[in-house]
A and B are shown apart, each in its own frame.
Chain A
Amino acid sequence: MTTHIAPAPTTDAAPPGVPAVDVVLQFAIEQFLYHEAQLLDEWKYRDWWHLFTDDAHYRVPVRRNRLRRQRFEDEVASRGIEMAHFDDTKETLDLRVRQRESGTHWAEDPPSRSRHVVSNVRVRPSGAEPGAYDVRSAFICYRNRLEAEVDLWAGERFDRLRPTGEGSFRIADRVVLLDQNVVLSKNLSIFF
């Protein structure tokens, strides 16, 4: 039973106009994120799952409405023993993918149509893990389900990407900050 806690999403970007990494690396990482988005939107969840390292963590904390003057930092829940929307390892992500593969996962069967749009990609060498990169990106995810159901989620992702040595990357850690306090949809049967 692992009790690894995901790092705090405090990755600072380089100052405006000053790229932290060269443009080829920036390009490669953006292409990796677009590829990942495509896998999700095409329901290729098993391929998506393979993008994570074996020690990966995937976390979507609950956003909280807090008084600014008082523990404003708690707006994003701590990484302690605290409830989250997702708090997954690669093993539990596998359970979620298997659920989608079961043919009886009614929340996604018939499958939703989704469109993950990824932008505002900022990259810098990871301070915590030499050779890896800390990547912040913004996303908008549109879901259209069954006849006329529409959900829209926006948020920010804090990724730790590890180069594979073959020009690609694996996701070693992801924290997703949804820009909703009360989730406005009937479920989160979707990945960000």
Chain B
Amino acid sequence: MAFDAAELHGKVDWRNGLISPEIFIDEKIYREELRQLFGRAWLFLAHDSMIPKPGDFFNTYMGGDPVIVARQKDGSVKAYLNACRHRGMKVCRAEDGNARNFMCTYHGWTYDIAGNLVSVPNAADAYHGELDRSRWGLVQVAQIDSYKGLIFATFDPSAPPLLDYLGDMTYYIDTWVDHVPGGIEVLPGCVKWTIHGNWKIAAEQFAGDGYHAAVTHSSSLGLVGEGMWGGMPPGGQFASRLGHGHSFVTGRVTRFDDDPLGEYNARRNAVVEDRLGPERSNMLGNFTVFPNMSGLPASANLRVWHPKGPNTFEIWSFTVVDKDAPDHVKKAQQLSATLTEGAAGTVEVDDGENWDLMGQMLAQGHQTRQMSWNYQMGLGHEVDDHPVHPGSFNATYYGEGPQRTFYRRWLEFMTTEKWPHVDAVRESGEPVDAADRADTSPAGTR
């Protein structure tokens, strides 16, 4: 049965840019989010370069659930719940590494790297040889696929293929994973830290909130001589009907005047322009792949917002470099990324202040939850037929179109039982109310 769709529709008025902050703090909504959204959407797990060899694994989360993503002997990748089928204990507590199998440390049930149950203590005597091990492997994700090295998975067997899920977003993803012939790799060392706030606040910011930078990041922008931006930098915003967003400025290739990578970047930019064309090679932006994967290519940063409750999330921050770049360039990029992003990053530390304090206020207050938050910037100024950029496009750097679209998509996931299709919307040109679709969808299709 769908969650109280009418109630949620009352809280998320994306058409008019009005959103109730209850969706950031309500425990019931959060539990439903784990089921309806994180239980169905394609979620980013890892990059190929993080698990290059057979047996390499990386421990991550899909929503609230721990998931192991592991390279198989044949080079393929599997992902499965990090939870023993006997009592649900974690079968692996290391965050990454290489393994032939995982033994649950409760009773010793042991699984191979593919997640098959290969050994059960006392199988012959205690179980009388009657336990069918083939039926008790680790719970596999329903679908796993990758886009140019980015590995995603979904728990929903009826989810559309990954490429359909990403949609027009691949046009923008290519600017940060396929801008040079060798592609990217993720550096070792995932920086993880904790915000007492809601994950959506961070995801919406990366989807399109260039507006916050001038004020929130005044002190770090000031370090490089720019100070507070007076006007609005030239740029644009892309809002995908599928919930993804990308926001960028144009005319600059790096954030830093004294970028130690200047010479490398200058050479690279010629290659990038050749591959991506003049428009896409000139973007300096941030993005969110719906729902919780984001990044800041200008700072070589890729991250996931892992929910840990309605009012807590962890940031897992990765740094990406050009795979074929020389080591001194990779090292310089690592130092630059360390200085700016992460728990101690000069840019990042000021974001934590906002997200965490907003979370505290919503946790404690009543009146602060009754406010309607304003998402009206640029409302009605998007175009769907931009000659260059696909998607809903706003030709200014500031605007909240990507956020409105993010919450529109969120609402669809939360209020439909069937996979939230959007094809019908595109064909008719008229938005189809998610609740209406839910009424006409066969129940229990997942």
Other 12 A-B pairs with CB < 8 A, given A102-B219, A187-B353:
A3-B328, A65-B93, A70-B94, A70-B99, A80-B188, A81-B334, A85-B343, A103-B219, A184-B193, A185-B193, A186-B195, A189-B344
Report if B338 contacts A (CB, 8 A). Answer: yes
Complex: chain A residue closest to B314, CB-CB: A182
With contacts A1-B328, A77-B188, A85-B191 known, is A186 near B334, CB below 8 A?
A: no
Cα distance A52–B51 in the bound complex, in angstroms: 39
Residues A83 and B319 in contact, CB atoms below 8 Å apart? yes
Contact call A83/B222, Cβ cutoff below 8 A: no
Which residues of the other chain, A, contact B343 by a CB distance below 8 angstroms?
Answer: 85, 183, 185, 187-188
Given the contacts A85-B344, A87-B335, A62 and B191 also touching, CB distance less than 8 Å: yes
Q: Which residues of A lie under 8 Å from residue B317 when comparing CB positions?
A: 83
Q: Is B352 an interface residue (CB 8 A)?
A: yes
Does B260 count as interface, using CB distance less than 8 angstroms?
yes
> What string of 1s and 0s marks CB contacts (under 8 Å) between A50-75 and chain B?
00000000001110111100110000
Let me know if B344 and A86 touch, CB within 8 A.
yes
Q: Which of these, B93, B193, B334, contacts A87 with CB under 8 Å?
A: B334
Is A35 positioned at the interface, with any CB of B under 8 Å from its CB? no
Q: Which 4 A-B pairs have CB atoms at the shortest separation, nearest pair first? A: A83-B189, A186-B352, A183-B193, A188-B344
A78 to B339, CA, bound (A): 18
Instruction: State the A residues within 8 Å of B (CB).
Output: 1, 3, 60-62, 64-67, 70-71, 77-78, 80-88, 92, 95-96, 98-99, 102-108, 146, 149, 181-189
Interchain CA distance A77-B317 in the complex, whole Å: 15
Q: Return the contact of A84 from the options B94, B189, B331 (Cβ within 8 A).
A: B189
Residues of B contacting A70 in the complex (Cβ-Cβ under 8 angstroms): 94, 97-99
Residues in B whose Cβ lies below 8 Å from that of A60: 344
Asked if A106 contacts B350 (CB within 8 A), the reply is yes
Contact with A along B338-367 (1 / 0, CB 8 A): 110011101011101111110010000000
Taken together as a complex, chains A and B put the C-alpha atoms of A67 and B188 apart, in Å, by: 16
A-B contact pairs, 6 of them (CB 8 A): A1-B331, A66-B96, A83-B191, A87-B339, A106-B353, A188-B193
Known: A65-B94, A182-B314. A83 touches B334 (CB 8 A): yes
B331 to chain A, nearest CB (A): 5
- CB pair A88–B339 under 8 Å, yes or no, is yes
Chain A residues contacting B328 (CB-CB under 8 Å) are 1, 3
Tell me whether A102 and B339 are in contact (CB under 8 A).
no
B125 to chain A, nearest CB (A): 29
Distance to closest chain A CB from B360 (angstroms): 8
Q: Given A104-B219, A186-B356: A84 and B338 within 8 A (CB)?
A: yes
B: residues with CB less than 8 A from A are 93-99, 187-196, 216, 218-220, 222-223, 228, 260, 314, 317-319, 321, 327-328, 330-332, 334-335, 337-339, 342-344, 346, 348-350, 352-357, 360
Are A81 and B330 touching (Cβ within 8 A)?
A: yes
For B356, what are the chain A residues with a Cβ–Cβ distance below 8 Å?
Answer: 149, 186
Select B331's contact among A3, A146, A188, beta carbons within 8 Å: A3
Cross-interface CB contact of B260 among A1, A78, A81, A105, cutoff 8 Å: A1
Q: Check B355–A186 contact: CB distance below 8 A.
A: yes
CA distance A82 to B221 in the complex (A): 25
Q: Which residues of A contact B220 (CB under 8 A)?
A: 99
Specify which chain A residues have a CB less than 8 angstroms from the CB of B355 in the assembled complex: 186
In the complex the two chains form, is B334's CB within 8 Å of A181's CB? no
Most buried by A among B94, B195, B260, B355: B94
- Determine the distance from Cα of A84 to Cα of B335 in the docked complex, in whole angstroms: 9
Contacts of A102 in B (CB 8 A): 218-219, 222-223
- Identify which of A67, A99, A186 contacts B346 (C-beta below 8 A): A99
- B187, B190, B343, B346 — which one has the most chain A CB atoms within 10 A of its CB? B343
In the assembled complex, which residues on chain B have CB atoms less than 8 Å from the CB atom of A62? 189-192
Chain A residues within 8 Å of B96, by CB? 64, 66
Residues of A within 8 A of B189 (CB): 61-62, 64, 77, 82-84
Minimal Cβ-Cβ distance residue in B for A101: B219
Instruction: Compute how far the CA of A149 lies from the CA of B195 in the bound complex, rounded to whole angstroms.
Output: 12
Chain B minimum-CB-distance residue to A3:
B331
Decide: B196 and A85 in contact? CB cutoff 8 A: no
